[in-house]
Amino acid sequence: MANKFLFVLTAVLFSITAHAKESAVDNYKTYCVQCHGLKGNGNGVNVRDMSVQPRDHTDAKSMSGRSDEMLFKVIKEGGPSIDKSILMPPWGDTFSDDEIKDLVQHLRQLCKCKFGS
Ligand code: HEC
């Protein structure tokens, strides 16, 4: 009986996590690619006319220099919150904190990196 309960619980948790990742990918595709590029490498359709180029999210070297908290902050509050360009918009009105956390995890998948490595 307990085993069965654990199995169901695991299945439910698994589907919630799977869903969260899926929506972060969708959100990235909808809201971020026009600047950060379809592959996240910083060459979206907008860049030709931008005075500051968007971060290449696949660049492990610079992305590993940022903590998850900093990535969260710059997505939620925009470039100036971490002394970066105003051309990086704030997304706090668009996404919940959980959605922003999922976006941070998605960025970690794009760079295949962690803070400090
Ligand atoms: C209108 C263009 C634009 C859009 C849309 C945009 N960004 Fe950015 N983003 C930028 C620019 C420009 C920078 C670089 C700012 C700088 O270097 O001063 C940047 C930088 C960043 C950084 C890195 C800051 C750093 O240097 O560590 C992160 C993380 C980021 N963006 C995430 C996102 C996410 C997630 C989305 C979608 C929800 C998004 N951006 C949408 C323009 C954009």
pLDDT > 70 in the chain, percent? 93
Task: Give the pocket of ligand 1 (CB within 6 Å).
Answer: 31-32, 34-36, 46, 50, 52, 54-55, 66, 71, 74-75, 79, 84-85, 87-89, 91, 103, 107
CATH of 23-111, one of 3.40.190.80, 1.10.760.10, 2.40.37.20, 3.40.50.300: 1.10.760.10
pLDDT for 101 beyond 90: yes
Q: State the pLDDT at residue 13.
A: 73
pLDDT > 90 in the chain, percent? 79
- Give the residue, by CA position, lying nearest to ligand 1 atom 12: 54
Q: State the pLDDT at residue 56.
A: 98
43-96 tens-digit pLDDT: 999 999 999 999 999 999 999 999 999 999 999 999 999 999 999 999 999 999
Tokens of 31: 């809201």
Block residue for tokens 């979206």: 44
| Ranges of each domain in the chain | 23-111
- Give the residue, by CA position, lying nearest to ligand 1 atom 13: 54
Distance CA 84, CA 86 (A): 7
Tell me which amino acid residue 34 is: Q
Q: Using an 8 Å Cβ cutoff, are 45 and 34 in contact?
A: yes
**Closest ligand 1 atom number to CA of residue 83:** 18
Distance, CA 36 to ligand 1 centroid (Å)?
A: 7
